[in-house]
Amino acid sequence: MDKKQVKISEKIGFTLTNLGNIPIMTLLNTYLLIFYTDVVGISPAVVGGLFLASRLLDGISDPLLGFLIDRFPHTKIGKYKPVLILGVIICCLNYLLVWFAPVMFESQKIVAISISYILLGITFDLMDIPLNSLIPVLTKNEEERNTLSSIKGVSYTVGPTLLNVAAPLAISAFSTPLNGYILLISGAVLVVLFFTIIGALMLKERVSEEEVTEHSVKEKYTMKEAVRILRIKPVVTLFLSMLFITAATNIFNGSLLYYLSYIVNNTRLLSIASLFGMFAALIAGAVVSILTQRINKKQLYILGLCLVSVCMAGFLLFGETTLSFVVLYCGVQFSLGLTNTLQYSISADNVDIIREQLGVEATALVASLTSLIMKFAMAVGGAIPGFILSYTGYIANQAQSIEAANGIMLVTFAIPLVLYLATVIIFRSGFKFKVAKKQPKLTNS
C-alpha cells in the first residue's frame, strides 16, 4: 500500500478530532449566557459587554497565533499535532474556569469570568487553528482532501445535534441546575480531551515535512511574507467568499424565528424543518467526494451558492405554507452542506498555492485568518437583523405593522439573497476554472 495514502485509521482519527472540537463552542453559544444570568446571577448587559470585548481581542490574537504556530518546529509526531494536543489540555482547563470560576470565587465573579472568558479566545485557538491546519498536511491528493472535508462537514452537522439532545437531559438530571451543569461541562471536557488526543495520535502529517525536505519550502516566514499572502487572488477570493456566505447564513438563521413568529405564526415549524434539514446537510456532506469526481469542486461550490439563492427567492415568493417552507429549508441546508464542506478542501488547495508562489509553509496562518473572518462575519450577521428590525419599527410580542413585516422579510431572505449572489460574483471572478488532472485511483486501506 502507498505510504502516502491516508489510511482508514487516520480517517477515523480525523473524525474524532473534529468531534472533539464541537462541545467547546456549541455549549458556549447555547448555554453560557443563561448560565451566567440565571444560575450565577450576572447582569445580561455585563455578559454582552464581555462577549463583545472578547471578539475584539480575537481580531488581534487569531493571526498572531497562526503566525507563531507555523513557526513551531517539526517533531517526531508532526508539526501541528503537538500544538493540538497541548492546546486541547490548556483549553479544557480554562474552559472549566469559564463555567465554574464565578461559582468558586463568588465575591469576585465578574473578575473571574472576565479573565477566563477572554483567555478562552486564545486557548481555544490553540486547539482550533492546528485542527483546521490538518487537511493540507495529511494529503495532497484531491480525492482524499474532498473525503476529509466531507468527514469534517458531516461531523460538524451530527456533533451539535447529538449534543443538543444530550445537554438538556444532563441539566435536568439533578434538582439544582448547577449540579446539572457540572455534569454536562465535566462530561463534555472529558469527551473533548479523549476524542482530540486519541484522534490526533492516529494521524500522520506527511505533506508539510515532504515539502520542506524535497522542495525547500521555508518553515519560518517573516511578517512581510505573511502580508504577501493576502495578495494571492485565490486566497483572498475564498476569504471574501467565506465572509459573505457566513454573514448571509447568520443573518438568515438569526432572523428566521421572527419570520415564523410574526409572518407564519408557527414557531414549531422550525423544529420539523430542522430535523429534515439536518438529514439534507448530512447527505450533502456525504456526496461531496462523489460529486467532485464528476464536477470541478469550484464549479460545485458555485452550484451550491446558486441553489441557496434560488431557495431564498423561493421563500420570498411562496414560503408561507408548511410544505414549501420545509422543502425550501431543506434546500438551504443541502446547499450550505455543499459549500461549507467544499470550503475546507479549497482552503487546503490555497495552502498549496502559497507553497508554490511564496515558498513558505503558512498552513496555520491560513487557518487563523479563516477563523478571524468567520468570527467577524458572525458579528456582522448578528448585528444587521437588530438594526433592520429596529429601523422598520419592530415591537416585541405584538402584531407587526406593514413596515415591520416587510423589514422581517427583508432581513430574513432578501439581504441573504443579495449576499449569496454577491458571493457567486466574487468567487467566479477570483478563480479560474480548470479541469483538474485525474488523480490516480486509490486502493482501500
Q: Residue 331: what pLDDT? A: 95
Q: Which long-range contacts (CB under 8 A, 24 or more apart) does 404-409 make?
A: 404/262, 405/262, 405/263, 408/255, 408/258, 408/259, 408/262, 408/263, 409/259, 409/263, 409/316
Looking at per-residue confidence, does 46 or 233 come out higher? 233
Please state the length of the chain. 445
Longest dimension (CA), the chain: 68
Looking at per-residue confidence, does 133 or 61 come out higher? 133
Tally of CB atoms within 10 A around 67: 18
Q: Is the pLDDT of residue 300 over 50?
A: yes
Q: Is the pLDDT of residue 49 over 60?
A: yes
Looking at per-residue confidence, does 119 or 56 come out higher? 119
Q: Is the pLDDT of residue 346 over 80?
A: yes
Angle subtended at Cα 314 by Cα 394 and Cα 335, rounded to the nearest 5 degrees:
105
- φ/ψ region of 216 (left if φ > 0, alpha if ψ in -120 to 50, else beta) reads left
Residue with cell 477566563: 116
Task: State pLDDT tens for residues 376-426.
Answer: 777 677 678 878 888 888 887 788 899 999 999 999 999 999 999 999 999
Helix and strand numbers (H, E) in the chain are 16, 0
The fold for domain 229-429 equals Growth Hormone; Chain: A; (1.20.1250)
Which runs of consecutive H residues, i.e. helices, occur in 292-391? 297-318, 322-358, 363-391
Q: Residue 221: what pLDDT? A: 73
Q: Which of 23-32, 80-89, 375-384, 425-434 has the highest mean pLDDT?
A: 80-89
The three cell numbers locating residue 20: 472533539
Spatial distance between the Cα atoms of 163 and 370, rounded to a whole number of angstroms: 25
Q: Which of 113-122, 367-376, 405-414 has the highest mean pLDDT?
A: 405-414
Spatial distance between the Cα atoms of 24 and 93, rounded to a whole number of angstroms: 12
Query: Which whole number is the average pLDDT over 311-320?
Result: 89
Task: State pLDDT tens for residues 279-299.
Answer: 898 899 888 888 888 888 889
Q: Residue 215: what pLDDT? A: 52
Spatial distance between the Cα atoms of 247 and 252, rounded to a whole number of angstroms: 9
Q: Residue 315: what pLDDT? A: 94
Q: Is the dihedral of CA 402, 406, 409, 411 positive or negative?
A: negative
Angle subtended at Cα 78 by Cα 76 and Cα 81, rounded to the nearest 5 degrees:
125
The DSSP element (H or E) to which 160 belongs, if any, is: helix 142-171
Query: Which whole number is the average pLDDT over 229-233?
Result: 88
Backbone angles phi, psi at 360, to 5 degrees: -130, 155
Model confidence at 307, pLDDT cuts 50, 70, 90, reads very high
Q: Is the pLDDT of residue 363 over 80?
A: yes
Task: State pLDDT tens for residues 157-169.
Answer: 778 877 877 887 8
pLDDT averaged over every residue in the chain: 84
Backbone angles phi, psi at 294, to 5 degrees: -115, -30
Q: Residue 88: what pLDDT? A: 96
Task: State pLDDT tens for residues 256-284.
Answer: 878 888 898 888 788 788 888 888 988 99
Class of domain 8-144+154-220: mainly alpha
Question: Same topology for domains 8-144+154-220 and 229-429, yes or no?
Answer: yes
Query: Which whole number is the average pLDDT over 314-330?
Result: 89
Helix axes 233-259, 322-358, angle to 10 degrees: 160
Tally of CB atoms within 10 A around 214: 8
Q: Is the pLDDT of residue 177 over 90?
A: no
* 3-class DSSP state of 75: strand
The three cell numbers locating residue 329: 429549508
Task: State pLDDT tens for residues 181-221.
Answer: 999 999 999 999 999 999 999 999 887 555 555 555 666 77
Q: Residue 443: what pLDDT? A: 45
Spatial distance between the Cα atoms of 62 and 59, rounded to a whole number of angstroms: 6
Spatial distance between the Cα atoms of 266 and 324, rounded to a whole number of angstroms: 14
Q: Does residue 444 contact residue 343 with C-beta atoms inside 8 Å?
A: no
The three cell numbers locating residue 35: 448560565
Counting Cβ atoms within 10 Å, is residue 397 exposed (0-12), middle (13-18) or buried (19+)? Answer: exposed
Q: Residue 441: what pLDDT? A: 45
Domain boundaries, the chain: 8-144+154-220, 229-429
Q: Residue 316: what pLDDT? A: 93
Tally of CB atoms within 10 A around 441: 6
3-state SS track over 252-281? HHHHHHHHHHHHHCCCCHHHHHHHHHHHHH
Q: Does residue 254 contact residue 381 with C-beta atoms inside 8 Å?
A: yes
Q: Residue 55: what pLDDT? A: 67
Q: Does residue 359 contact residue 217 with C-beta atoms inside 8 Å?
A: yes
Task: State pLDDT tens for residues 84-101.
Answer: 999 999 999 999 999 999
Q: Residue 390: what pLDDT? A: 81
